[in-house]
Structure 1
Amino acid sequence: MTRARPVVAVVDDDPRLLESLEDLLESAGYVARSFSSAASLLVNGLSGVDVLITDIGMPGMDGFELRDQVRKAHPDLPIFLITGRHEMADRHRAQGISGFFRKPFDAKALLAAVGDALRNREMEGNHDT
């Protein structure tokens, strides 16, 4: 029996970054689902999503607000925040997430962090036996 590939949802209002992250994640064996806004992710739902990567600075609902909304429904979902801003306040507001990356970020570091989060989530799920 083959295990399904993990699904990573990516939310960013920059279409070039969405495409780049989608290519990166799929080349690493993940299924990437791209969304241009927090609202489009929430409308489509988080069913089947194993990891969320979201930009902080987006029009409408920003990444912090999205994180808060997702946490209510899926408190164990690994969430990574990415940003092009360099404000220390962002790092402080990013508490309670799986990772925080500033653009341009190291692709290998992001993939390693996603892999670690998925392994940790899987190990926590196996403790139920």
Structure 2
Amino acid sequence: MSKGRPVVAIVDDDPRLLESLEDLLESAGYVARSFSSARSLLIGGLTGLDVLITDIGIPGMNGLELRDLVKKTRPELPVFLITGRHEIADQVRAQGISGFFRKPFDAQALLAAVGEALHNRKMEGTREN
């Protein structure tokens, strides 16, 4: 985990959601980095990120595919999936993530989940040392 404020990457093709999540995360003390696609996130790389929040239904590489790629390259990185769809299959396919949120989601619940994931990751890092 990075020193200083934790860095949270958000991937969603809805600019209004990106802006509101950025504001929410920054008001909670995080550094928020927004990306409109998985490709734009991957161009910058996953180094330096402490949490990833991605929409499932983004164009190109979708959120589930991005989660799979991240788990191969950064298995310790907490990944949260968000979706506007209400299909049970999405929740089943979302196994192996830190959290799953349906839009509209409770902002405080998302912040609590991100905080818990960071805390758990910090505790795991402490046990490994």
Which TM-score band (shorter chain)?
over 0.9
**Structure 2 match to 1:64:** 64
2:81 maps to what in 1? 81
Q: String of CA shifts for 1:75-129, please: whole Å, max 9, x gaps.
A: 0100000000000000000000000000000000000000000000000000023
Structure 2 residue matching 1:76: 3-state secondary structure: coil
What does 1:1-129 correspond to in 2, within 5 Å? 3-129=3-129
Deviation at 1:47, TM superposition (A): 1.1
Letter in 1 for 2:84: G
C-alpha separation in 1, matches of 2:70 and 2:113: 19
Aligned length: 127
Structure 1 residue runs of 4+, over 6 Å off?
none
Displacement of 1:58 after TM fit? 1.0
- Matched residue type, 1:19: E
Local SS of the residue matching 1:112: helix
Identity of aligned residues (%): 78
Distance in 1 between residues matched to 2:128 and 2:44, nearest whole Å? 30
Once residues 9 and 98 of structure 2 are traced to their aligned partners in structure 1, the CA distance between those partners, rounded to angstroms, is 14
Give the distance between the partners of 1:10 and 1:52, measured in 2 at CA. 6
Unaligned runs of 5+ in 2: none
Deviation string for 1:32-66 (max 9, x for gaps)?
00000000000111111000000000111100000
Amino acid at match of 2:53: I
Distance in 2, Cα, partners of 1:86 & 1:15: 21
Secondary structure, in 3 states, of the residue corresponding to 1:66?
helix
TM-score w.r.t. length of structure 1: 0.97
